[in-house]
Structure 1
Amino acid sequence: MTTTAPAPGPAPVRLTWVQPEDLVGHELRQAAEDGRDARRIAARWYAAGGPPAPPAAGASSAARPELRALAEELLDALAALPRPRADDEPTGLDAIVAACPDWPAPAPGAGADPALRDRLHAAWLGRAAGCLLGKPVEKLPLAAIRALARAAGNWPLDDWFTARGVPPELLAAHPWNRRSAATSLAETIDGMPEDDDLNYPLLGLLLLRRHGRSFTTADVARLWLDELPAGRAFTAERIAYRNLLDGVEPPLTAVRRNPFREWIGAQIRADVHGWTRPGDPAGAAAQAHRDAVLSHTGNGVYGALFVAATVAAAAGGGADVHGALAAGLSVVPPRSRLAEAVRYGIATARAVPGLDTVVDRLHARYGGYHWVHAVPNAALLAAALTHADGDFTRSICAAVSGGWDTDSNGATAGSVAGLLAGHPDRLPDRWTSPLKNRLATSVPSFDGTGFDALADLTRLEAVRP
């Protein structure tokens, strides 16, 4: 008698960024960065066969659900370890303000400025263009980005990435971000495709339309549950979302088993707070703080404050890029790692004429961080904007060509440089025409919206009391 093996069933659903056994390696890495002594916990984890943090993903290549119970125990033990940097890197707004000797005074803002609408239009376009430029090379190492651009005759980077003229063997060795390449190479762009770097500014706009400037962190949480598909949240945001569904309330949502709480996620949500507080970096930082603490702590929050205040200064129309960066740095605790990284990025860009050398120095100094961590990306953003000296093309190209979180850095650099340009007509046509004034998004009611319409909606929130 012969038997046939049963047909294999469907592959199990593997959720990344949330499984306890995938988080321990990331939390051990975070502990090493913030000074906690986790050697005994690490020894237990590795003795049991637990994997280290994967270098570029949220889950290891081999699922180990049998480690889950141990992982949950160790995550709680890691959270209980003393934090030597706690005094230098607080999360509460009052403590942050107290730590910043140059915290800016509240300002009435420039919401009534008739030129604000054009600045906001240029900022939306700039954010989209910079994000789109960085999409095909997201997750690629710096050497691969340089090789692909050089092969296309596009280095120093000055235009969209393309596969045209790139040898097939080079493309095979350094494949584009597959999902993005279909919509973000020069030959495939057809409007602005969906990206979380644009989804979050849209959610921020919805937040302000519904709750005004007095919104709370709980309002942000409810908005996410109402309007953000869970599958479109990643890293710290996905953990916070999961925590909300488990009944955890903010700000505990940011710390419960969340090793990504100092990554870049809150920073990509910050532009809208600067756009709607033009000329008022303090007000923008306070808004960004209430948003950020849903999912982030420490340096993850500082990245959001830094960007919000920088954007607010640029949106006010009275600052150049260097003054805007100074305003951003004024709201970051000066003894924090992020403040040190921003200062280093600015100083290196001022002292070293060659951008590639600037980037190499940043990678040598901060390459030990995960490529999505807020610290290295803030250093690169500050260096790119400083080196470009306000020029739009140079700003987005410098941010993207520096590697790490290419689409997020390109987006923020484009937003700041767009504000400084002051008008969409002052942005080069090669960056704006392919966008076709059309934005794709999974945020309800915004899919297909034009950037001109978004500028109008954003200005309404900027003039709202």
Structure 2
Amino acid sequence: MIPEGYVEKIYAGFLGMNVGIRLGAPVEPPVWTDQRIEQIYGDITGYVKDYKNFAADDDANGPVFFIRALYDDAKDRELQAEDVGKAWLNYAREGIGMFWWGGEGVSTEHTSYMNLKRGIQAPRSGSVEVNGLVAAEQIGGQIFIDTWGLLFPSQIDKAADYAEKAASVSHDRNGLYGARFMAACIAKAFEENVTVDQLIEAGLNTIPNDSTYAQVVRAVQDFHKQQPNDFRACRSYLEEEWGYDKYTGVCHIIPNAGVCILALLYGAGDFSRTVEIATMCGWDTDCNAGNVGTIVGVLAGINNIPQHYRKPINDFIVTSSVSGYLNILDIPTFSKEVALLGYRLAKEEPQQELQQAVKNGEVYFDFNLPGATHGFRTDTTKLILQASDKVGYESSGSLEVVFDRMVEGEKGKIFYKSFYRREDFNDERYKPTFAPQANSGQQVSAKIFLDKWEGEDIILTPYVRETYSKKEIALVPVTLKNQEWNTIEFTIPETDGAIIDEVGFLIESPSPLVNRALGCLYLDEFRIYGQAHYKIDFSKQYEEFKCITPFSHNRGEWTLQGGWLKGRSEDESSSYSGNYYSEDLTLEVTLKPLRGQSHMLLARAQGIQRHYLVGFDGQDQVSVIKNDFGHTRLKTVSFEWKPHMVYLFKLIVKGSQITLWINDKEVLTVEDSSFKYGMFGFGHLEQAETEFASVTIQEHASE
């Protein structure tokens, strides 16, 4: 039975997880012992490091992408470990992003991924028999499972079972017990008036009583009963009895499980204190604070996560899958997606409002979750952004924008960032890559209510910004009507091959000093939608995060050379961009084969292991190939082509029909309905070298 307030609880849990990750990340390296953390930061009561934007983290990547097994494979049946193994192979770029690629035999995840690549399916891919006991019991068993707990509110055993299946891709024994324990705690936290002790007992009831994991949990419980007011004393006890010197490997689960229980008990249900204690204890700080952040986020609720922790996150994280479009993650929207999955698994019908709030392939914000900002930003102190639960277009929520004594000549902007560059981050954690969520030709709409207290008219001008020149392209100004909901609509203009990274509104007023503009705007029902029609000019792109904007690459070497994108492969490689949910489109690309026999476009790519490849496939032939965890040639025709010649490819994908034109001549057509949507890109199936240029994407309305 899905509980009342389910979506809000998921929001609190997922936001709590990301607060914990962000809090713990700066002191994660082993050199940051608990003593050094105390020496430098004392009693932590807030973030110890400011970030422009927090880059991707494995502790968030796993919970976001491994549950996609429920979309891709386990759609109408029980989840199997093999389904999650497929999600690993489909969304993780080999050797970069997603998780720590520390080397086979060192990183458990790296080792297990290579097992999967070699055909060793889950759960054997993560087993003790294949990887050894030390690798199988590293911390990854419990750090990727938070969303499995969120999917099964109050279903303790079900949450634990699914978490175990997911963790078995890479872990075994105590690694699996940690997954079961954490997921069970999260599921239990949805219940009314539950205590921390009851959470812990729920977790213990899902794992063997004689396991080392259960033993460390009981040991910390016993110590807490004896010394309930000194968490540092308990941390010293863990160091002596359960420390890293006794549990080897890079980051073993048992010492960190002890820290998680310590933080839960000494935090006593208080969100802030729990994640702070987990961070001050050292060891794997972002993992531990993230796990307990999810548990206590659900337990305490969204209103008990303080603003000094919420505001810097601003409802937004980035991830580092192969899909740059999915890597820009809006926390309220993702929380609703998880809720819809939860309803599906419970075989219950979600409320219509929830169903309408998730629009795959669109940016859509309704601001109806408490405190939700959906990542909106401003560039000036003249505009103050905060969530409102008092004014809304069709619900009680909106984004409140206070304009503070603006006078003629002053201008500020509120905007959504639809694309990110390396300069937007302090570091390169887990190498996120991005595809734009707003493109030329799409529509933007919003409802804006004006509550003006003083001053002259408020003028709002829609705009977009492109990343190459940083130019803001302003559209037609609108004078807002006071005390009314104003409907704002515009079409995103052409940017001549540059990528758009901001979509928003310029705000100004002709008010004089003696009558300065003061009041509020309320923004609601913000939406970016419709068919895109845009270009990618490689002379206006950049090499960042080991990729070429706006693409994510899997294997191969990809560089920019004189306005061309050059892809060089020693074997199979691929490159992806575009809206993950794009259906019908025309893709035009100038292509120059330089070396080898495989030079192809990708269409409807739902990941590394699910897409179509279309193009040169052997000497003097062209093929359409379906990749669905293995390649099937759907059709091959003769076509004479030569290296170093330039060809204009036009690939039309409409419904179940795939048609390729080369140099304005139709070359082949094939029917296949395996993939109904996905990204576009480029690929090689063997050793090859190709240059690509002048990319044009025209999306079409589906029939």
TM-score by length of 2: 0.45
3-state DSSP of counterpart to 1:449: strand
Q: Given the alignment, which residue of 433, 436, 442 partners 2:314?
A: 436
Counterpart amino acid of 1:378?
A
1:277-292 paired onto structure 2 within 5 Å: 277-292=152-167
- For the Cα contact (< 8 Å) 2:123–2:165, is it kept in 1? no
The separation in 1 between residues aligned to 2:131 and 2:260, in whole angstroms, is: 28
CA-CA distance at 1:204 after TM superposition: 3.0
Of 322, 328, 340, which residue of structure 2 is paired with 1:460?
Answer: 340
Q: Counterpart of 2:378? A: none
The counterpart of 2:274, out of the listed 395, 398, 403, is 395
Task: Name the amino acid aligned to 2:320.
Answer: S
Q: What SS is found at the alignment partner of 1:341?
A: helix
- Equivalent residue, structure 2, for 1:333: 208
Paired with 2:30 and 2:131, the residues of 1 have a C-alpha distance of: 28
1:128-156 Cα offsets, whole Å, 9 max, x none, are 0101111111123464x4434543xx422
Deviation per CA, 1:337-377: give whole Å up to 9, x if none.
11100111222223212111111111111112246111111
- Give per-residue Cα distances to partners, 1:37-65, cap 9 Å, x unaligned: xxxxxxxxxxxxxxxxxxxxxxxxxxxxx
Q: Does residue 47 of structure 2 align to residue 160 of structure 1?
A: yes
CA contact (8 A) 2:159 2:187 kept: yes
Q: Which residue of 2 aligns with 1:451?
A: 331
Instruction: Give 1:463 shift.
Output: 1.1
One of 362, 384, 397 as aligned partner of 2:263: 384
Conservation of the 8 A alpha-carbon contact between 1:253 and 1:295 = yes
Match of 2:149 in 1: 274
Give the equivalent residue in structure 1 for 2:504.
none
Query: What residue number does 2:394 align with?
Result: none
Tell me if structure 1 keeps the 8 A contact 2:24–2:279.
Answer: yes
Following superposition, the deviation at residue 318 of structure 1 comes to: 4.7
Q: Deviations over 1:108-141 (max 9, x none)?
A: xx42x23111111111111001011111111234
Q: Judging changes above 3 Å, is the alpha-carbon distance between structure 1 residues 358 and 159 closer, same or farther for their aligned structure 2 residues?
A: same
Matched, 1:257 2:135: no
Q: Is the 8 A contact 1:220 1:294 kept in 2?
A: yes
1:192 to 1:321, Cα distance in 2 relative to 1, 3 A: farther
Contact 2:139 2:253 in 1 (8 A): yes
The residue aligned with 2:240 is: 364
Name the counterpart of 2:181: 306
Match of 1:126 in 2: 16
CA distance in 1, matches of 2:343, 2:69: 15
Normalised by the size of structure 1, how large is the TM-score?
0.67
Superposition deviation, residue 326 in structure 1: 0.8
Whole-Å separation in 2 of the counterparts to 1:230 and 1:351? 48
The residue type paired with residue 149 of structure 2 is G
- Which amino acid is 2:18 matched to? A
Q: Which runs of 5+ in 1 are unaligned?
A: 1-109, 162-184
Pairing partner for 1:221 from 85, 94, 100: 85
Q: Distance in 1 between matches of 2:231 and 2:194?
A: 24
Q: In structure 1, give the amino acid aligned to 2:88.
A: W
Among residues 393, 400, 404, which one is paired with 2:283 in the alignment?
A: 404
Larger strand proportion of the pair: 2
Q: In the alignment, is the contact (CA less than 8 A) between 2:216 and 2:254 conserved in 1?
A: yes
User: Shift of residue 261 of structure 1?
Assistant: 0.6
The answer on 1:316 being equivalent to 2:191 is: yes
Aligned partner of 1:78 in structure 2 is none
Q: Give the whole-Å Cα distance in 2 for the aligned partners of 1:141 and 1:385.
A: 24
TM-superposition CA deviations, 1:232-258 (whole Å, max 9, x none): 333222111101112222222123235
Indicate if the aligned counterparts of 1:278 and 1:313 stay in contact, CA closer than 8 A: yes
Give the corresponding residue for 2:692: none
Which secondary structure does the structure 2 equivalent of 1:291 belong to? helix
**Residue 78 of structure 2 is aligned to residue 200 of structure 1:** no
For the residues of structure 2 that align with 1:128 and 1:350, how far apart are their CA atoms?
30
Unaligned runs of 5+ in 2: 101-106, 348-703
Q: Which structure is larger by alpha-carbon Rg, 1 or 2?
A: 2
Q: Which amino acid aligns with 2:85?
A: A
Q: How far apart, CA to CA, are the structure 2 residues paired with 1:135 and 1:399?
A: 12
For 1:229 and 1:341, how far apart are their aligned partners in 2?
36
Contact 1:142 1:402 survives alignment (8 Å): no
- Percent identity over the alignment is 28
Choose the corresponding residue for 1:147, options 29, 36, 55: 36
Would you say the 8 A contact 1:314–1:419 is kept in 2? yes
Within a 5 Å distance, the mapping from 1:167-182 to structure 2 comes to none
Cα distance in 1 for residues equivalent to 2:13 and 2:295: 7
After superposition, the C-alpha distances for 1:439-464 in whole angstroms (9 at most, x for unaligned) are: 11112242222111111011111111
Give secondary structure in 1 for the equivalent of 2:55: coil
Letter in 2 for 1:430: H
Structure 1 residues 345 and 148, CA gap change in structure 2 (3 angstroms): closer
Query: Is 1:190–1:435's contact at 8 Å kept on the other side of the alignment?
Result: no
Q: Is the 8 A contact 2:24 2:289 kept in 1?
A: yes
Give the structure 2 partner of residue 246 of structure 1.
118
User: Amino acid of the residue matched to residue 125 of structure 2?
Assistant: T
SS in 1 for 2:316: coil
The equivalences for 1:14-163 within 5 A come to 110-111=1-2, 113-141=3-31, 143=33, 145-151=34-40, 154-161=41-48
| Alpha-carbon shift at residue 214 of structure 1 (Å) | 1.2
Change (3 A) 1:316 1:191: farther
Q: How far apart are the structure 1 equivalents of 2:269 and 2:338? A: 23
1:386-418 Cα deviation digits (max 9, x unpaired): 111100111001111111111100101111111
Further displaced range: 294-303 or 310-319: 310-319
- Matches of 1:148 and 1:409 in 2, distance apart? 15
Equivalent residues, number = 326
CA contact (8 A) 2:27 2:37 kept: no
- In 1, are the aligned partners of 2:19 and 2:309 still within 8 Å (CA)? yes
Residue pair 1:191, 1:436 contacting (<8 A) in 2 also: no
Partners of 1:200 and 1:387 in 2: CA distance = 28
In the aligned structure 2, how far is the partner of 1:215 from the partner of 1:406?
Answer: 30
